[in-house]
Structure 1
Amino acid sequence: MKAFDHAAAAAARTHQDSLTKPPGSLGRLEDLAVFMAGWQGRDRPRLDRAQALVFAGNHGVVAQGVNPFPAEVTALMVRNFRAGGAAINQLCRIAGADLSVVPLDLDRPTVDFTQAAAMTRPEVEAAMTAGAEAVDPQADVVILGEMGIGNSTVAAVLAAATFGGAAVDWVGPGTGATGDILSNKLRAVDAGLALHRPETALDTLAAFGGREQAAICGAIRRARQLGLPVILDGFICTAAAAVLTRDDPDALAHCLIGHESAEPGHRRLIDCLQKQPILSLDLRLGEGSGAAIALMVLRAALSCHNDMATFAEAGIG
């Protein structure tokens, strides 16, 4: 696993302080440029090639009535992504990211985690491998997103298993759950937590699923091996990523959180990870949509860092 290059980050900070502005006046844009420098190992980080990955999976827990939409919608949305009709397609286009959609055995949902483990260890490992293999080694940054009917329930139980608490602490409306459907989500998460007591990251993914969450973890680990910065999307993506901290508290050091979503558990999750989201726009779509918008902010940070004149170049001072 590659480590943060402190020398490159220090050089980037020195360069920031030489630009034609008061030191620190660009706020987090300066910090983002330094973060990128440290992970790319160059004082002038670049974003020539941005990759967006959306992983899709189906979940057996949908049988518990946790979602107002049927599982068939997952495949329909994958078709929409590939046809260019979804929000993430438009956002990637204007953010300058190459989008890849990776469906994972949509015709074979995971097992209902209220009844048994959602996946076997080989199934988890296969999904993680698919996520790792999807990462482009030539990318300068990787954006991660997901699609899967029922996966906000999975995210809630993963967050609870990782950081503690009960269903009420993590469950939110997801795609619009209210009334009985919301009650079903709460019951399903508490039932899963009572049935399974995993301790490692792999066992947590096996207990609760899903394949897209495991693929996200695989992509994050591969990006770390390559030294690629990662932008996580909202609650579901962040909850999947957080599972990796069960094995290694530093597992997400190369990851930015693109935005704080409107899903109520996300703020608590962000606090547990001790990270700061780039944006807060009340999004709750998934798909990597918030991460794609955050990429535009990251581009702004690097444009200022790389293209502004220094005081010496401008003949000032």
Structure 2
Amino acid sequence: MIHPIKNKTLEKALQQKINLKTKPLGALGMLEDLALKIGCIQNSETPKIDNPTIVVFAGDHGIATKEEVNPFPQEVTSQMVYNFVNGGAAINVFSKTNDVALKIVDAGVNHKFPKSLNIINKKVAFGTKNYQDEPAMTLEQYNDAIKKAGDIISKIHSKGCNTIGFGEMGISNTSSASLLMGHFIKTPIIDCIGSGTGLYADGINKKAQILSKVFNKYNPKTPQEALATFGGFEIVMLCGAILKAAELKMTVVIDGFIVTAALLAAEAINTNVLDYCVFAHNSNEQGHIKMLEFLNVKPLLSLGLRLGEGTGAALAIPLLRASVNFLNDMASFESAGVSGEND
């Protein structure tokens, strides 16, 4: 069960602590809001960031085998998993730079990885079905993915992690994210689609035509059915992971377009999940900005990123550390012997 965060007494105490630091009121801007939120999540006036971890879920999509909705072939998903393991991707660099643990999960890649590979093997199937013809997965597969994601997060949490971010890898997963966005925000598919991994105007228009037909083919009645119809195994696992992390009262760092699409589904399942989420950045995908507006949230960074992999989350985690560190370590006017406002 995900409980809403409603501790007005703690919130007031945290705000007072923030206000009494040696600075003008509000001078640390969003870092003050961040410190307050993390304190409320952790139910503590001295919150901390313990063993922050990024989990990247990888999965393949049936549509990638038939239609040109992406300029890269499906094989790139498995190739990038190897790249993650070998430490060669942007997420590896940023995680290492910022001292963040990194876990790679095979949620449903269309490739048989060797058992010795340093990944978490939770494969549901070798990619989803092509939703042009049939739903991407069965409800049984959906439930399997949700459970496996929860198990992963529970294990990470049990080892002392209280702050977790998510990333993804899956050729054509921007298509799934666009369909999910259209469903949950009730907006035309053309407004959900961006360049993804590199489409130009003609490719975007073709993608919109294909996905609009897919969108009109189905009428999912529940968030779960929408995920099973349009999602990828990595997106369903993202949804399950977000829900489990919130249930465990972890601070959840939301990355870009794909992860936020999974969050839309998670929020539709349980609105309390938003209480535990911090938004790392706004992606350069047009749909992501609309998602953030729909959720009425402010991202920490605006860097023009559209890579995925959890890169925005990895870049934002130092800001979470800075926010709790100023709350805990910065002097107050009284302790520093500094005159405060109106003294």
TM-score of the pair, normalised by structure 2: 0.89
The answer to whether residue 128 in structure 2 is matched with residue 122 in structure 1 is no
Secondary structure of the equivalent of 1:142?
strand
Secondary structure of the equivalent of 2:214?
helix
Q: Which residue of 2 aligns with 1:284?
A: 306
Does the 8 Å CA contact 1:59/1:149 hold for their aligned counterparts? yes
Secondary structure of the equivalent of 1:253?
helix
Q: Which residue of 2 aligns with 1:4?
A: 5
Q: Which residue of 2 aligns with 1:258?
A: 280
Secondary structure of the equivalent of 2:305?
coil
Counterpart among 239, 242, 255 of residue 264 in structure 2: 242
Q: CA deviation at 1:279?
A: 0.6
Alignment of 1:288-303 (within 5 A): 288-303=310-325
Looking at structure 2, the residues matched to 220 and 154 of structure 1 have their Cα atoms a distance apart, in angstroms, of 18
Does the 8 Å CA contact 1:199/1:246 hold for their aligned counterparts? no
Looking at structure 2, the residues matched to 54 and 266 of structure 1 have their Cα atoms a distance apart, in angstroms, of 19
Does the 8 Å CA contact 2:108/2:128 hold for their aligned counterparts? no
Q: Which residue of 1 aligns with 2:78?
A: 75
Q: Which residue of 2 aligns with 1:100?
A: 103
Secondary structure of the equivalent of 2:275?
coil
Q: CA deviation at 1:245?
A: 2.6
User: Which amino acid in structure 2 is aligned with residue 164 of structure 1?
Assistant: K
Does the 8 Å CA contact 1:3/1:39 hold for their aligned counterparts? no
Q: CA deviation at 1:181?
A: 3.1
Secondary structure of the equivalent of 2:289?
helix
Q: Which residue of 1 aligns with 2:92?
A: 89
Q: Which residue of 2 aligns with 1:40?
A: 42
Q: CA deviation at 1:200?
A: 1.4
Secondary structure of the equivalent of 2:335?
helix
Looking at structure 2, the residues matched to 217 and 267 of structure 1 have their Cα atoms a distance apart, in angstroms, of 19
Q: CA deviation at 1:179?
A: 4.8
Alignment of 1:1-317 (within 5 A): 1-4=2-5, 6=7, 7-62=9-64, 63-107=66-110, 108-135=126-153, 136-137=156-157, 138-317=160-339
Looking at structure 1, the residues matched to 44 and 196 of structure 2 have their Cα atoms a distance apart, in angstroms, of 39
Looking at structure 2, the residues matched to 48 and 229 of structure 1 have their Cα atoms a distance apart, in angstroms, of 10
Secondary structure of the equivalent of 2:134?
coil
RMSD: 1.3
User: Which amino acid in structure 1 is aligned with residue 93 of structure 2?
Assistant: Q
Looking at structure 2, the residues matched to 35 and 246 of structure 1 have their Cα atoms a distance apart, in angstroms, of 21
Looking at structure 2, the residues matched to 218 and 178 of structure 1 have their Cα atoms a distance apart, in angstroms, of 33
Runs of 4+ in 1 over 4 A off after TM superposition: none
User: Which amino acid in structure 2 is aligned with residue 96 of structure 1?
Assistant: D
Seq. identity, %: 36
Q: CA deviation at 1:105?
A: 2.5
Does the 8 Å CA contact 1:64/1:184 hold for their aligned counterparts? no
Q: CA deviation at 1:12?
A: 1.6
Does the 8 Å CA contact 1:160/1:167 hold for their aligned counterparts? yes
Secondary structure of the equivalent of 2:151?
helix
Q: CA deviation at 1:290?
A: 0.6
Secondary structure of the equivalent of 1:64?
coil
Looking at structure 1, the residues matched to 315 and 101 of structure 2 have their Cα atoms a distance apart, in angstroms, of 14
Q: CA deviation at 1:126?
A: 1.3
Does the 8 Å CA contact 2:240/2:266 hold for their aligned counterparts? no
Does the 8 Å CA contact 1:32/1:301 hold for their aligned counterparts? yes
Does the 8 Å CA contact 1:18/1:310 hold for their aligned counterparts? yes
Does the 8 Å CA contact 1:171/1:265 hold for their aligned counterparts? yes
Does the 8 Å CA contact 2:185/2:294 hold for their aligned counterparts? yes
Q: Which runs of 5+ in 2 are unaligned?
A: 111-125
Q: Which runs of 5+ in 1 are unaligned?
A: none
Does the 8 Å CA contact 1:5/1:41 hold for their aligned counterparts? no
User: Which amino acid in structure 1 is aligned with residue 5 of structure 2?
Assistant: F
Q: CA deviation at 1:310?
A: 1.0
Does the 8 Å CA contact 1:201/1:245 hold for their aligned counterparts? no
Does the 8 Å CA contact 2:3/2:272 hold for their aligned counterparts? no
Q: Which residue of 1 aligns with 2:113?
A: none
Looking at structure 2, the residues matched to 86 and 17 of structure 1 have their Cα atoms a distance apart, in angstroms, of 41
Does the 8 Å CA contact 1:51/1:99 hold for their aligned counterparts? yes
Structure 1, residues 208-239: CA drift from partner, whole Å, max 9, x if none? 01101100111111111111110111011101
